[in-house]
Amino acid sequence: MEKLLFELNEILKKESISQYKLSKELNISQSYLNEMLNGKKKLNIDYINKICNYLGYEIIFKKNS
């Protein structure tokens, strides 16, 4: 989960999208989004999917080799 959180935060920085703007798109508070992106609250698959869709990214599952 740490790697996912790191990647999501990096994408937000790269795309210059604030947590405030993303929280409005997700219809949640900025503080709740911040807690999820910092690992203080659980980030469930629904929010991961919504965030990725908004950012234009897709989730790819890959088996470890």
Instruction: State residue 36's pLDDT score.
Output: 93
Task: State the total domains in the chain.
Answer: 1
Residue 37, pLDDT > 90, answer: yes
Classified as helix, coil or strand, 63 is coil
Residue 22: which pLDDT band, with cuts at 50, 70 and 90?
very high
Q: For residue 26, is it within any domain?
A: yes
- Which residue segment(s) compose the domain that 8 sits in? 2-55
Q: For residue 40, is it within any domain?
A: yes
CB atoms inside a 10 Å sphere around CB 2: 7
Q: For residue 64, is it within any domain?
A: no
Q: For residue 60, is it within any domain?
A: no
Q: Is 22 exposed, middle or buried (0-12, 13-18, 19+ CB in 10 A)?
A: buried
Query: Model-level pTM?
Result: 0.81
Instruction: State residue 30's pLDDT score.
Output: 95
Q: For residue 36, is it within any domain?
A: yes
Residue 27 phi, psi (nearest 5): 60, 45
